[in-house]
Structure 1
C-alpha cells in the first residue's frame, strides 16, 4: 500500500471545492450587504486612476475594452450572486470613470504653450487675486488677437506695478515672458502642469512694467475679494492671513513661516474651507433659527421648525461654498451637509458612510480630475475614518452620552477627540507621505486645543466682527479675533518646533501608493473581521517607504539645480537657489535640514566653471561626478579628459558628443526627454519625471522644425 499511487480528486470534487469557496464568499458578502454600495466611488475612481497611470490613447482604450469584456463575461455567468454583480457593476463604473476623465480632458482642458516666449500681448482680465504674502497680484488673462497663445494665461504682477483700473473685465497691454506650466521639478514633486491644464491655464509668466490699461474695469471687485481685503485691513500682524483664510478660503496673505508651522503641526486643515467650517456655520445657523422661531408661540406649535431651520442652514452652506471659491473640500462638505440636513428633516440618521460615498461619487462625476489631488484624498479619507470609527460598536458605546459627573464627562469627551484625531492622523499618513513626503506626528494632540479654539472662539468672534462692522463697531471683536489667532499660531509654532513633529520619507512610487490606498479602503469600508486583511498592505507599504534608501542625486528638469547626498547631509550646486527650489529638493529626498554648497565640501574641487566631486554609495563604491557651473566655453582637451575620468557628467547645457563619461551623461538634450531625475547610486536606479511615450495632454511638446531644402537654381 505504501507504494501505490496517490488518489487525485476527480473534476467533480474540484468543482465542489470551488463551489464551496464561492458559497463562503457569497455568505460573507451577504453579511456585508449594507457596505457593498460603498464601493461604487472606488469603481469609478479606479477608471480615473487608470487614465492617469496609463500612457496613451491606445492603453486607455485597451483598459476600457478590458473592463467592458469583464462586465460581459460576468454578465454571462450563471447565478445571481453578489460577487457576480459587484464585478459586473464595478467594471462598468471603471469604464465610465476612464471615459469621463478622458472626455473632460479633451473637451475642456487647455494645451500648454509649446516653448517660452517674450511677447507683448493685449488681453482681457478674467480674474484678479491678491497675494500679500508674496507682495504681488495674480491676474488671469484672455489674450486678444493672439492665435499663437493659449486661450487663458496667468501672470504675476508686482504690487508696486499694479495699474489703476485693473480688475475683472479690464483690457490691458503688457510685456511678459510666458512659459509652459511647470512640470514636477524632480520625481515625486508637485505637478503644476497637470493642475493648470484642468484649470484651463496654458501659460504662466511675470508681467514687466509698464502695464497699460486700455479699458479700465467697470465692475466692482467680487464679494470674496472685497471680504478678503477688508479682513486683511482690520487684523494686524501674522493673524491677518489666518483670519482671511478662515472666512474666504484664500491663503494668499499667510506668511510662509506660519504656513509651514501649520503644516508641520497638523493644523493646516484649518486653513482650507472644509467640513469643520461648513459644519460650524450651518450648525450655528440652525441653532439661531430654532431659537428665534421658538420665541413665537404660534411658530413653535404649528410650524415645522426643523424643516425650516434645515432649509436655512442649507442656503447658508451653499452661499458660503460659493463665496469661498467652491474648492473640492468645500463642495464635498456642502454636499455632505445638504444630505445630512435632508436626513434630519426627514427624521432619519444621515451621518453614515453612505453619505460619504454619495458625496465622493458626485464630486468624481463633476470633477474627475480631483481624484489625484491631495485635497480630495485627504478630505474624504479623514471623513471616512471618522464615520467608520463612530459606527464601530465599542467606540459608539464608549462615546455615548450618559448621566455622570462633569469631570468624567469632560475626560470622556477629550478621550473621544484624541482617539478620533489619532485615527485620522494614521489614515492620512500614507497620503501625506505620497504628496508631501512628510506626515504629522503630533497633530492629534495639537488639534485637541486648536479645533475647539477655532470652532467656538475664533469663528464666532470673526462673524461678530463682520456683523458689527456694518454699524462701525467691529474693532473690539477684531482685536479679540487677533488675540485668539495669535494663540493658535503660538500652538502651531510650538508643536512644529518639536523634532517629533513630522515624519519624513523620500518619494513613494504610485503603484505602492495604490496598494496602500486599497488596503485602507478595505479596512474602512467593511465591518466584519475580514476588514483587517487590508492592514498588511498598509503597514507593509508605509514600512517600505520609510525603509527605502533615499536618492543620492537629484537633478531638476532644467539641469541648473543639483542636490547630492553626502555623509554630512545634503548639498546643492548653486548656493543662491531660492527657497522654493531648496524646499522641493529637500522634500523629495526626505531630508530636513539646511542644504550646504557643494563648493564648500571637502570632497569637492570647484572652479568658476566646473565642480568635481567624489561620492560614496551605501556599498562603499566611490563615484566621480563632474558638474558644470557656468555657460563659459571650456577647453576641449582638459574637459574631454575630465569627462572620460568621471562616472557621471551633469550640465544644464548640451554637451558635445566627445564628452563620454563612464556611466551616464546628463545634459539639456537628455533632460528634455526625461525631465527631472532622482538617482540611487548603490542600486543604479534612475527615476524620471517624464515616462517614455506619455501622451497626456498637459505635457508640453515643442513643435518639430521641418527642414526645407533650397529651391534648385535654374
Structure 2
C-alpha cells in the first residue's frame, strides 16, 4: 500500500512537533520520578569535571555562562513541569560544581616551587608515614619560620639508614635537601602527582641528605596509634602476610612488597587493600552483633531499652573510629557515610539501603573533596557500590538469589552464583576506569574474588580482630597462626591468578571523551529503571570501541627529554637509555599499553634494527605506513661539533634532547628539546598519522601547572620544512 501526501505530512509533523516531544518527555520523567534525585551528584560532578577539563579561567567562565543560559531557558519553559525543574537543577548544580572546585583550588591548594633548588632548612614534622617496603619514611614538613622561597608544606623522604632518634610527628629538625616541584605526568596518560600534591597542600618534594639533626625531639607518645598498631601486627606476622594484615587493620600499605602489591592488582584483588565498604561493614556489623547479643543477655535491658538503636549507635562510633584510624581516605569516608545512613534507618525502623544512600554519600564527598572526583579511588568506589545496589534491586537478580526453603547444597550454590555474578558485574563496570587510569585491567578478578572475599570476611578479619583482642592478655598466637596461613593462601591465589595467560588486559592511553562516554552510559543504565536505560548502551559501546582501538604511540618522550621509548612492530619497546630505572620503564610501558611490570624487558635503542648509538648521539630509522622516519636523540651533555650536528639535524625528521638545542638545529618535523618540552610536557607521537599529543594543554592555567620562565619559544611544532 502506498502512502499519500497527507499521511506523510502527518508523520513528519508528529516527528518534529515540539509539543509532542515535550509531552512524551514529561511522561517519561513522571515514570522515573523516583530516580531523578539520583542525578543530583552527577550534575554537580559534571561541573567539577568541566573545571578540570577546560584549560583556563576563560573556559571556566564560559562554562558557568552556559549554565546560566540553561537556567534562563528553564525559566521560560512551562512552569511546574519536570523538564523545567530538571533543567534548572542541573544547570545550577553544573555551575555550582565548577565554582566549588575553583574556590577550593584557590583556598586550599599549595602552589609548587618554581624550580629545583638545594636548600638548608629547619622544619616541623607534621606527619610521618613509614614505607618499610622501600626502606624509608615520608615526612610532611612545615618550615619554621616560614620562608618566602619555600612552600608552607613539603614532602621529604628520609631513608631508614639516615633515621635519628626523636624523629617523629611534632619534632623540629634541621636538614639539607634538593627540593623538586611535584612531578607532572611524565608522558600523556601517566599519573599526575602534581595535581594530587596541590590539593594535598604539598608544594615540593625531596630527600633529606644526611646528617639529619633533631633540634627538638618529638613529644612522648607522638607516634600515632596507627603506626604502633601496624608495627605490632607486623611483629606477629612476617613478610607480605604481616604487611597485608596491617593494611586490613590500619589502611597502611607502606610495608607491602611491590611483588605482592602487583600480584594483587593483576589478579583483581587490590580492592581488598583499600579500606572501603567490605572492611567498614565487617567492622560495624561485628560491633553491632557483639553489643546487641551482650545486652540481650539481660532480660531487663531487653524489655526496657531499644537494643537495636543502642547497638547501631555503637556500630556508628566504631565505623567513625575505624575511618579515622585508617587515614580517612575517600573509599572509607564514602563507606562510613553510607553506613551511618543505614544505621540511622535501622534505628528508626526504616530500610535505608538503596541508590539514594549512594547518591547522598557522593554528594557529601563532592561537597568537601570535589577534587577526588577525577581520581580512580572515587570513581571505582562509587561505581562498584552503584553496580552492587542496582543489581540487588533488579527483579531477575532477586528471583535468582532470594532466600527460599531448599537444601543446603542448593543454598550454597545459589550463594556462590550470587557472589560470582556481582563480582563479574563489578569487574566489567570497573574495567574502563582501570584502563583509563592504569592502562591495565584484570580479567580473572571475578574468579579470584570467589575465594578471596569469603576468605577475608569470614576468616581473616574476624581472626585478626580476635588476635588483637587476645593480645591484651598475651593469648593471641593461635589466631595469628590462622590469619597468617589464610593470608598466605590469598597471596598464593593472587600470584597464581596474575601469572595466568590473559590475566591482564593492557591497552595504551585513550581519549578522555571515550572514557567520559562510557561513564555517562553506565550511569544512564544504572540510575534509570524504564526501558530508556537501554539507550545507555550506545555511548558505552562507542566509548569502549574507542578505548579498545586506541593506537599505541610510536614514540614516547618524557617531559625532561632524558627518556625516549620507541614502539616496535612486535609490540615491545626500546629505550634511549637502557639503564633507566623501574619507575621510568613502568611509566612508559603502561602508557604504551604493555602494562605495569612488563616494561622491565625493554631493550636498548642500539640493539634493535635501524638503531645506532654512540656515546653522545643515537639515530634511528622507523618504517611506518610506507615511509621511513629518521629520529635523532642526544644522550650526553658534552659539546658536539657544530657543523656535523646541524647537518644531522637537517637530515632528521624528529630531534629529541634533554638540553636546549641551538637555533641552527632544524629537523624536518619536530624539535623536542629542553626548551620546547618545558612548555609541552611529555609527548606521545603517532607517526602513521603524523600527529602528536602532549601532557599540557595550550594556555593551561590550572594552579599546579607552573608557567615556564625565561622561554617564549612556544610548544613543539613543525619547523623548517614540511614532512615529505
Structures share a fold, TM > 0.5? yes
Q: Distance in 1 between matches of 2:304 and 2:276?
A: 35
Q: Which residue number in structure 1 is paired with residue 203 of structure 2?
A: 202
Q: Which residue number in structure 1 is paired with residue 112 of structure 2?
A: 112
Q: Which residue number in structure 2 is paired with residue 129 of structure 1?
A: 129
Q: Which residue number in structure 1 is paired with residue 366 of structure 2?
A: 364
Task: Verify: 1:162 aligned to 2:169, yes or no.
Answer: no
Report the alpha carbon displacement of residue 299 of structure 1 after superposing the two structures with TM.
1.8
Q: Which residue number in structure 2 is paired with residue 578 of structure 1?
A: 581
Please list the CA deviations of residues 438-464 of structure 1 after superposition, one character each: whole Å capped at 9, or x if unmatched: 111110110000001011111111111
Gap change, CA 1:442 and 1:388, over 3 Å in 2: same
Report the alpha carbon displacement of residue 700 of structure 1 after superposing the two structures with TM.
2.1
Q: Which residue number in structure 1 is paired with residue 615 of structure 2?
A: 608
Which blocks of at least 5 consecutive residues in structure 1 are unaligned?
707-714
Please list the CA deviations of residues 607-637 of structure 1 after superposition, one character each: whole Å capped at 9, or x if unmatched: 11111111122x1322111111111111122
Gap change, CA 1:684 and 1:460, over 3 Å in 2: same
1:294 and 1:300 in contact (8 A); partners too: yes
Q: Distance in 2 between matches of 1:279 and 1:288?
A: 14
Report the alpha carbon displacement of residue 477 of structure 1 after superposing the two structures with TM.
2.1
In the TM superposition, 1:530-569 aligns within 5 A as 530-568=532-570, 569=572
1:651 and 1:666 in contact (8 A); partners too: yes
Report the alpha carbon displacement of residue 5 of structure 1 after superposing the two structures with TM.
9.8
Gap change, CA 1:259 and 1:7, over 3 Å in 2: closer
For residue 550 of structure 1, give the secondary structure of its aligned residue in structure 2: coil
Q: What is the RMSD computed on CA atoms of the aligned residues?
A: 1.9
Report the alpha carbon displacement of residue 17 of structure 1 after superposing the two structures with TM.
2.3
Q: Distance in 2 between matches of 1:697 and 1:88?
A: 30
Q: Which residue number in structure 2 is paired with residue 644 of structure 1?
A: 650
Report the alpha carbon displacement of residue 9 of structure 1 after superposing the two structures with TM.
5.8
Q: Which residue number in structure 2 is paired with residue 590 of structure 1?
A: 593
For residue 238 of structure 1, give the secondary structure of its aligned residue in structure 2: helix
Q: Distance in 2 between matches of 1:468 and 1:189?
A: 45
2:14 and 2:20 in contact (8 A); partners too: no
Q: Which residue number in structure 1 is paired with residue 718 of structure 2?
A: none
Q: Distance in 2 between matches of 1:664 and 1:692?
A: 17
Q: Which residue number in structure 1 is paired with residue 426 of structure 2?
A: 424
Report the alpha carbon displacement of residue 76 of structure 1 after superposing the two structures with TM.
2.5
Report the alpha carbon displacement of residue 194 of structure 1 after superposing the two structures with TM.
0.4
Task: Verify: 1:326 aligned to 2:328, yes or no.
Answer: yes
1:551 and 1:679 in contact (8 A); partners too: yes
For residue 601 of structure 2, give the secondary structure of its aligned residue in structure 1: coil
Select between 53-62 and 133-142 the one with higher mean Cα deviation.
53-62
Please list the CA deviations of residues 409-458 of structure 1 after superposition, one character each: whole Å capped at 9, or x if unmatched: 10011111101011101110111111011111110110000001011111
Q: Which residue number in structure 2 is paired with residue 218 of structure 1?
A: 219
2:586 and 2:600 in contact (8 A); partners too: no
Q: Distance in 2 between matches of 1:16 and 1:435?
A: 42
Task: Verify: 1:174 aligned to 2:175, yes or no.
Answer: yes
In the TM superposition, 1:36-435 aligns within 5 A as 36-145=36-145, 146-220=147-221, 221-435=223-437
Which blocks of at least 5 consecutive residues in structure 2 are unaligned?
713-724
1:168 and 1:219 in contact (8 A); partners too: no
The match for 2:707 among 696, 701, 712 is 701
2:510 and 2:550 in contact (8 A); partners too: no
For residue 59 of structure 2, give the secondary structure of its aligned residue in structure 1: helix
Select between 238-247 and 189-198 the one with higher mean Cα deviation.
238-247
Q: Distance in 1 between matches of 2:584 and 2:233?
A: 32
Q: Which residue number in structure 2 is paired with residue 29 of structure 1?
A: 29
Please list the CA deviations of residues 359-397 of structure 1 after superposition, one character each: whole Å capped at 9, or x if unmatched: 001100010000000000000000000100110011111
Please list the CA deviations of residues 130-176 of structure 1 after superposition, one character each: whole Å capped at 9, or x if unmatched: 10000001010001232210000111000010111111111110000
1:678 and 1:686 in contact (8 A); partners too: yes
1:165 and 1:213 in contact (8 A); partners too: yes
Q: Distance in 1 between matches of 2:204 and 2:239?
A: 34
> Which consecutive segments of 4 or more residues in structure 1 shift more than 3 A?
4-10, 12-16, 702-706
1:169 and 1:219 in contact (8 A); partners too: no
Report the alpha carbon displacement of residue 79 of structure 1 after superposing the two structures with TM.
3.3
Q: Distance in 2 between matches of 1:513 and 1:550?
A: 17
Q: How many corresponding residue pairs?
A: 703
Please list the CA deviations of residues 237-263 of structure 1 after superposition, one character each: whole Å capped at 9, or x if unmatched: 221211111111111001111100000
Please list the CA deviations of residues 159-210 of structure 1 after superposition, one character each: whole Å capped at 9, or x if unmatched: 0101111111111100000000000000000000000000000000011000
Q: Distance in 2 between matches of 1:481 and 1:552?
A: 48
Report the alpha carbon displacement of residue 219 of structure 1 after superposing the two structures with TM.
4.2
For residue 123 of structure 2, give the secondary structure of its aligned residue in structure 1: strand
1:115 and 1:702 in contact (8 A); partners too: no
Q: Distance in 2 between matches of 1:705 and 1:691?
A: 17
In the TM superposition, 1:659-678 aligns within 5 A as 659-678=665-684
For residue 251 of structure 1, give the secondary structure of its aligned residue in structure 2: coil
In the TM superposition, 1:421-570 aligns within 5 A as 421-568=423-570, 569-570=572-573
Q: Distance in 1 between matches of 2:230 and 2:600?
A: 35
Q: Distance in 1 between matches of 2:38 and 2:600?
A: 43
Gap change, CA 1:250 and 1:439, over 3 Å in 2: same
In the TM superposition, 1:9-28 aligns within 5 A as 17-28=17-28
For residue 679 of structure 1, give the secondary structure of its aligned residue in structure 2: strand
